[in-house]
Structure 1
């Protein structure tokens, strides 16, 4: 399948600047913020899942489910992702005492990605954001760099990466208009959202490690929740377009939004609550493991 990632029909329906400033939230409270208290079992679940994502890459099993296969199988794969896969392999079974030297190699690559962030096109920017996220998680989960000041700076840079990526678009205009988008536009939008959601989960892990509060990502309100696995794993354009047509018919009032997985506001009319639950039930019927993980986290945290 040939992919053309030019002329993408993307919009950003949220304020991306609030993503880059997220690290400040623990120090300077913002009105309307809601503390997200993960039960210890949920926090442990997130920790283990994200750690497994780094294990996938380190052990050569590819990328976790926030990277779309088209990004790796395109005619000219993105060097940011292919380099990332190669570099993180050196983190497999590092010799005792060699973690810091290995971490320096990873850090150099992260600095290179960050310095070039303003030169990337849509696809390269997303790939760089994903690679930067993987490197940051590898530093924490595989190279014991939790106390390294570089990791805190890396998280600020990661949130800046997320902001720049979001600014380029987190949603297809067609998604907003409830029509079928170009496949490539949808791939970039969906992979961007998945990467963003993963970054937020990782941010909560680090905040917990530092004894800092974690806040509900209200700045993401309105973004579509994770798409179904039929769309995400479609192998051909025809299969994807057919699946999207079915999706449009099934979701005539619009796709599920991420905030529909958040706590139900007090005083909400029972009929609206029932409708929301029906929408979540429908969404659950065709999820991949990433969507299932996200539901497990939100359901066990918010009920």
Structure 2
């Protein structure tokens, strides 16, 4: 096929301009810009949750296995090594979710990382997680040092921060801990007991302001921002509890779940968690309230439902959950039996 001759321009003529190349918009979680601009005007500064009254009891339960020897009369909870293996396989994937464009671990809500400005704790976490998994041979010590420095910065933040900032700090510290434990870099230190103690302290700071809001207890619809923070807190606390089981089992420490895990509302409703904007979330929440006129499901109901009505509630909940909720259900069934 003959090649067309090249066009020539006279010395004074302007070269023809090419049409501007439009950059392809980055997809976020398989969606286009519809998910990228969730809802303008999200404000997490005035979130109001119900303060949690049993923080000191929870703190004692979390820290006891790292600071004190268990009493001789105490019988540790029997957790199968297969359950520990299942938990470990699932949790190890959470930091890796952040490697792909738009990927998120299931404890972080999409609204937390989209909009005008991502919270510093999560922004740094995304960057450092990618550096960790993509570290060039020979740079591991430098990357590990940067992660350790960031974790120290998070641990040193004053406890009087706003509820949303405390949540993001707790989430980032937990993701670093999971990453270091399940995906250690060559020639770097293993996860330390001190890290688990700090993680427990950050959990108590975050939980002190509450796991839930007044609207959830009065069977009404809360503001979307309030629900996002409450739901993310519950998911993050559940993730930490499961991580403690895996870590303690690996160190031959007593493994058990705290009583707080059974007290909180069960996490995992897919439609509410994945709603792309305020209006669609409001419609889903209205349907949710109709489905749960008998009250929201507590995690303790997943342990061993005896009555027929309780089994019906559990089955109704299972029908609506995402992968995180199904994982929670499986672990509760493994540990406490159904």
TM-score by length of 1: 0.89
What does the per-residue CA deviation read over 1:102-145, in whole Å, with 9 as the maximum and x for residues that have no partner? 22211110000111142521211111110000111111112259
Distance 1:20 1:8 in 2: 24
Contact residue 261 and residue 295 of structure 1 kept, 8 A: yes
For 2:206, which of 151, 162, 165 is the aligned residue? 165
Structure 2 unaligned regions, length at least 5 = 1-38
Where in structure 2 are the equivalents of 1:170-249 lying within 5 Å?
A: 170-249=211-290
- Confirm or deny that 1:15 pairs with 2:54: yes
Q: State the 1:100 CA deviation.
A: 4.0
Distance 2:212 2:75 in 1: 25
Distance 1:284 1:225 in 2: 10
Structure 2 equivalent of residue 262 of structure 1:
303
Distance 2:193 2:99 in 1: 22
Q: State the 1:7 CA deviation.
A: 2.2
- Confirm or deny that 1:79 pairs with 2:113: no
Structure 1 equivalent of residue 312 of structure 2:
278
- Segments ≥4 residues shifted beyond 6 Å: none
Structure 2 equivalent of residue 298 of structure 1:
332
Q: State the 1:39 CA deviation.
A: 1.9
Q: State the 1:87 CA deviation.
A: 1.0
Rg comparison, structure with higher value: 2
Aligned pairs, number: 296
For 2:103, which of 62, 82, 86 is the aligned residue? 62
Distance 2:236 2:299 in 1: 14
Structure that is richer in helix per residue: 1
| Cα distance change of structure 1 residues 129 and 284 upon mapping to structure 2, 3 Å threshold | same
Distance 2:296 2:75 in 1: 24
| Cα distance change of structure 1 residues 19 and 145 upon mapping to structure 2, 3 Å threshold | farther
Structure 2 equivalent of residue 108 of structure 1:
149
Distance 2:281 2:98 in 1: 27
What does the per-residue CA deviation read over 1:213-272, in whole Å, with 9 as the maximum and x for residues that have no partner? 2113213332100041100011111111111111111111211101111245xxxxx5xx
Structure 1 unaligned regions, length at least 5 = 265-269
Three-state SS of the structure 2 residue aligned to 1:118 is: coil
Contact residue 99 and residue 143 of structure 1 kept, 8 A: no
Q: CA RMSD in A?
A: 2.5
Moved more, 44-53 or 74-83: 74-83
TM-score by length of 2: 0.80
